[in-house]
Each structure stands twice: as structure tokens, then as C-alpha cells.
Amino acid sequence: MSSTTKYIFVTGGVTSSLGKGIISASLAKLLQARGYTATIQKLDPYINVDPGTLNPYEHGECYVTDDGAETDLDLGHYERFLGVPTSQANNVTTGRIYQSVIEKERKGEFLGKTVQVIPHITDEIKNRIKILGKTGKYQFVITEIGGTVGDIESLPYIEAVRQLKWEIPEDCMVIHLTLLPYLSTSGELKTKPTQHSVKLLLEYGVQPDVLVCRSEHAINKDIRRKIALFCNVAPDAVIEALDASTIYEVPLLMEKEKLDVIVLKKLGIDHSTEPNLDNWKTFLNRLHNPKKEVRIGLIGKYVELKDSYKSIAEAFIHAGAMNECKVQLDWIHSESITEENIKEKLKGLKGILVAPGFGNRGIEGKIAAIKYARENNVPFLGICLGMQCAVIEFARNVLGLKDAHSREMNPATSSPVIDILEAQKNISHMGGTMRLGSYPCKLEEGTKAFEVYSKKEINERHRHRYEFNNEYTKEFIEAGMVLSGVNPDAGLVEIVELPNHPWFIGVQFHPEYKSTVVNPHPLFVSFVNAALTKIS
């Protein structure tokens, strides 16, 4: 293949939520399975500089990369599919684009000129698109453009694509994802919305090369021909994307439809090799043929919107397949749990996970659930705030520090067992200022954590301001809590566990971000295994 990077753009039409992220990740997977290197980037048209300041109800989970970027949850899909870490460069928002153009203007970089959407904003967008290509690491950069064609906000991105298609026509192509609605009264798939959204793209000067059509029903040859005719694409470039039982089926569906072959042909690249998806198929086979089932409770305060805990839910799918079992997740609102109803609420669960989060709402329900898990030998995994709650629960009910709390929830507590770091105390800007990204952690030999990871040093990703307060270390250890993982540079406690319990671990970091299809996270695998072996 030629040494130049190829740029593939994925746009969306008709409606949002068609799954551009999954189609992008599936195409990248197929290219990777043929031995090519690929990465995926998401351009988000909102003004926030990153999604770190967004409430999960607004935008779902905030996904964190190794280099500490707070990003869109689609980046999680990219990593789970490809097994290759993403970085800050993989997610760019309109806010970030404008921020850097305005910074340059203030420095005087455009001195004497009027700064405009075209060319300054579109140039900045094009630079961001090319950053990943310029690393020399990838043969393909797939860029997903957030939003739907026709949105005012995504216009500069579409314009940047038009310019790039003009500047490097050999190295660029556009895949447009659309919807074919099915009208049950006439029993027909309708093509008009697709025609209209392609017309809109054409108005902006962009001719898509491939149309991926989401549909609940198979698309016959006549419909394909009709769409091809109206939209100026080859009939074999009209691809059917049927609803799948799991997102992990989509690469195989796209392989069947030859999406990868069409892309390679269009870009003039060899497609004689076959994709090797052996690992992927082994995973799917396990996923579809579970031998057992296990019920695990996910206790959080954003459970109405399942996207808020996307990476956790996916990590359970990976770990379930590894254990050849189906993990049945019970999403339990922490605000609904009280000391009185707890037995009823958590009855029959074989494992309890207390989720990450911010703020006071629902905190007592989380602490009550941990007390229940600890006293009833139910396997427990606490993540970030979940770990902090485990520390608070232990302080209150084992150490007898009745007023114990995190300073985040109760700044006046007399026992701040979770406290803010000195470095965080004077922070005035909320965006991008938490302890973010990958940090090393040393594991204590002979502990459960060491057994789970089978190594001495690990790296995990963080996103929090508060920490275990080391002033209480001695009291916790003496009362039986093991501090099994510590940051070697700062001495911060990253993992706590209870050796007199079948499986009780709290982690200050987020293991869910690093679980992939091919490499399920060891903590989740071990936790599911413990839930499976729990004596009822």
C-alpha cells in the first residue's frame, strides 16, 4: 500500500443514533483484521471544549484515555473493538477548535486578517483531522462526524470534508450512514429520507462514495439500484446494515456486505487478503452460547440512562463471555435503597458493583449496599466513588467513626476518610482539572489484587478529585482492610480489599475503560467468576 494515510469520513443522515460509531469501529476492525493499521476519530459539533463538564444525562458516559483526555463514549467503542489506545487527538469538539483559533488570534498569528469560519475554522478542523495521519502510525484514519447532516453546528465539518476531498481526492472517501424506514401499512422500505439527506450533502458539495443503510428489513436489489441511481453511487456501494442482536455482530455483518472490500477498492488498495477475525468469532461464540447465568447489581444514580455506565456494561459483556456465562445486570437506583428495604432490593444478587459518580445524591444508598455486601459475603466491586464509599462504610461501621465521610459530600465531617488532594484545593476551573488519565499502581504481593492481575505493577486510568486520606492508614490496616495497591510516586491508595471476605475490592481508578473484546479486564473477569461461585 502507498505510504500516504487514507482518510475515511463517516457522516450521518435522516436521524441521530444510527450508530456511526459502531459502523466506524466495525470498518476499522475489518481493516485491522486484514493487517492494516487504523484509528478512529470523533468530531463533536458542540461548544463544550470536552464532554468532561457534561452531566451523564446529557451525553452518557465520559470516557477517559491514557493521556487524560475526557472524551465521547464512542472512543470507548473504538478501543473495545480495536484494542488500540486512543488519545486526545481522537476526539475534537467545536469548542476546542474555536478555543485554539481564538488563542492563535490573540497571539497575533493572523495579524492584519479577519478571522473567519472559512478558512480559519475549517483549516483548524483539517489540521485536527490530519494530526493522526501525520503520526505515521496509521494507514487509515476514520473520522466520524457527530450530529446529522443539515444541523447548523456540523456545517463547518462538512465543509472541511469537501475541501479535503478536493485537495487530496485519491486519499479521501465519504461513507454516509442513513435510515430506510419501514412502513408497515404498505409493507415497504422507504428510500425518500435517504435521497433527501444525500441531496443535502450534495448541496454542501460532498458526494458520498458509500451509503450504509440502517434497516429493520433486508434491502432487495431493486431498492439498492433505486438508491444508487438517485444518489450517484455504485449499486454495490449501497450497503445494508440490519439491526444486530449485539454491537459485536456488526463487523461480521459489514464483512458479509463487503464494506471493507468496497472501501479498499475505492482507495486503490489491495484487498486480496481475507480478514482474520478468529479471536473475534471465538468471543462471539462464547457470547451467544453461555452455559450459565449470573445476576449482578449495578448500583448508581444515573441508571435511567444506561449510556451513563457504558464501559461498565460492556466490560461485563466481555467478562461474561470469558466466563462462558451471561451476566444479567440489575440496574438499581442508589436513591431507592434504604436500610429498611435493602434486603428486598438486593435479594438474589450474586455480585454488587457500586458505580462511579459525583455529588451527594444517592450516596447513603450506595453505602448501605456496601454494608450489605460486606456483611453477607456478596462479591463486591467498587469503582472510584464506589471505592470511596467502601472506605466510608468501613470507617463508620467497623472503625466506629460514625460521622466519617468524604469531604466532597460533607466538608465539615470530623472524620474525612476521603479528602481532596492539596493540589486540587485551589482549582477555579472545573474543566480538565481532575486527576486524569493513566497512572502506575504497585500491587502488594499475596493480596487478591495481585492474584487477579498476576503482576506487581499495573497502569490504570483515573478521573477524580478526592482520595483515600492517608492519615487514617494505620487505623484501617489494624481493623483488617488491606491497602493492596498504591501509587508508587505519590503514595496514594488505589486499591482496598477485605481478606476475610470471598471477594471485596474497591479501586480508585476505572478498570472498565481498559476492557476490550480480545482482552477482557482481569478485575471484571475475576469478579464475575466470584459471583458465579457464590454459594447462594
How near is the Cβ of 391 to ligand GLN at its closest, in Å?
11
Peptide bond into 119 cis (omega under 30): yes
Q: Is 273 exposed, middle or buried (0-12, 13-18, 19+ CB in 10 A)?
A: exposed
How near is the Cβ of 235 to ligand GLN at its closest, in Å?
49
Among 42, 374, 405, 465, binds ligand GLN (CB under 6 A): 465
Among 42, 396, 463, 501, binds ligand GLN (CB under 6 A): 463
For ligand GLN, the closer of residues 219 and 436 by Cβ is 436
Q: What cell numbers appear for 496 in the block?
A: 482496598
Site size with ligand GLN, rule: CB under 6 A: 10
CA dist 380 and 29 (Å) reads 34
How near is the Cβ of 386 to ligand GLN at its closest, in Å?
7
How near is the Cβ of 47 to ligand GLN at its closest, in Å?
24
Closest CA to 173 of 65, 269, 46: 269
CB of 5 within 8 A of CB of 171?
A: yes
State which H helix or E strand residue 389 sits in. helix 385-397
Among 9, 81, 283, 466, binds ligand GLN (CB under 6 A): 466
Which range in 73-81, 289-297, 342-350, 458-466 contacts ligand GLN by CB under 6 A? 458-466
Cα-Cα-Cα-Cα torsion 318, 320, 325, 330, nearest 10 degrees, comes to: -130
C-alpha of 481 from chain center: 32
CA dist 84 and 366 (Å) reads 34
Which range in 175-183, 256-264, 339-347, 462-470 contacts ligand GLN by CB under 6 A? 462-470
| Interface positions, 346-375, toward ligand GLN (CB under 6 A) | 356-358
Q: Is 512 a residue of the active site?
A: yes
Which range in 48-56, 74-82, 459-467, 525-533 contacts ligand GLN by CB under 6 A? 459-467
DSSP string covering 289-332, please?
A: S-SEEEEEEEEES-TTSGGGGHHHHHHHHHHHHHTTEEEEEEEE
Handedness of CA 440, 444, 445, 451 (dihedral sign): negative
For ligand GLN, the closer of residues 230 and 358 by Cβ is 358
For 441-475, letters b (16+ CB in 10 Å) and e give bbbbeebbbbebbeeeebebbbbbbbbbbeebeeb
| Interface positions, 401-440, toward ligand GLN (CB under 6 A) | 408
User: Per CB under 6 A, does 511 bind ligand GLN?
Assistant: no
| Interface positions, 246-305, toward ligand GLN (CB under 6 A) | none
Q: What would you measure as the largest C-alpha separation in the chain, in angstroms?
A: 76
User: Per CB under 6 A, does 385 bind ligand GLN?
Assistant: yes
Q: Is 334 exposed, middle or buried (0-12, 13-18, 19+ CB in 10 A)?
A: buried
CA dist 209 and 83 (Å) reads 28
How near is the Cβ of 375 to ligand GLN at its closest, in Å?
24
How near is the Cβ of 392 to ligand GLN at its closest, in Å?
12
C-alpha of 452 from chain center: 23
Q: Which of 77, 176, 318, 510 is catalytic?
A: 510
How near is the Cβ of 493 to ligand GLN at its closest, in Å?
13
CA dist 516 and 75 (Å) reads 12
For ligand GLN, the closer of residues 260 and 419 by Cβ is 419
Q: Is 510 a residue of the active site?
A: yes
For ligand GLN, the closer of residues 354 and 530 by Cβ is 354
Among 464, 501, 514, 521, binds ligand GLN (CB under 6 A): 464
DSSP string covering 43-106, please?
A: EE-SSSSSGGGS-HHHHSPPEE-TT--EE-THHHHHHHHH-----GGGEEEHHHHHHHHHHHHH
How near is the Cβ of 192 to ligand GLN at its closest, in Å?
45
How near is the Cβ of 55 to ligand GLN at its closest, in Å?
13
For ligand GLN, the closer of residues 74 and 408 by Cβ is 408
For ligand GLN, the closer of residues 257 and 408 by Cβ is 408
For ligand GLN, the closer of residues 239 and 383 by Cβ is 383
Site string for ligand GLN, 300-339 (x = CB under 6 A): ----------------------------------------
How near is the Cβ of 368 to ligand GLN at its closest, in Å?
18
How far, CA to CA in Å, does 253 sit from each of 189, 219, 248, 447? 19, 13, 10, 43
C-alpha of 231 from chain center: 33
User: Per CB under 6 A, does 147 bind ligand GLN?
Assistant: no
Q: Which of 213, 231, 325, 384 is catalytic?
A: 384
Residue with cell 472510584: 384
Among 384, 391, 449, 486, binds ligand GLN (CB under 6 A): 384
For ligand GLN, the closer of residues 357 and 506 by Cβ is 357
Which range in 5-13, 88-96, 172-180, 460-468 contacts ligand GLN by CB under 6 A? 460-468
H-assigned helices in 138-258: 155-167, 192-203, 221-231, 250-256
Site string for ligand GLN, 77-116 (x = CB under 6 A): ----------------------------------------
CA dist 310 and 501 (Å) reads 28
Q: Which of 124, 255, 257, 512 is catalytic?
A: 512
Residues lying near ligand GLN in the complex (CB under 6 A): 356-358, 384-385, 408, 463-466
Query: Which residues are catalytically annotated?
Result: 384, 510, 512
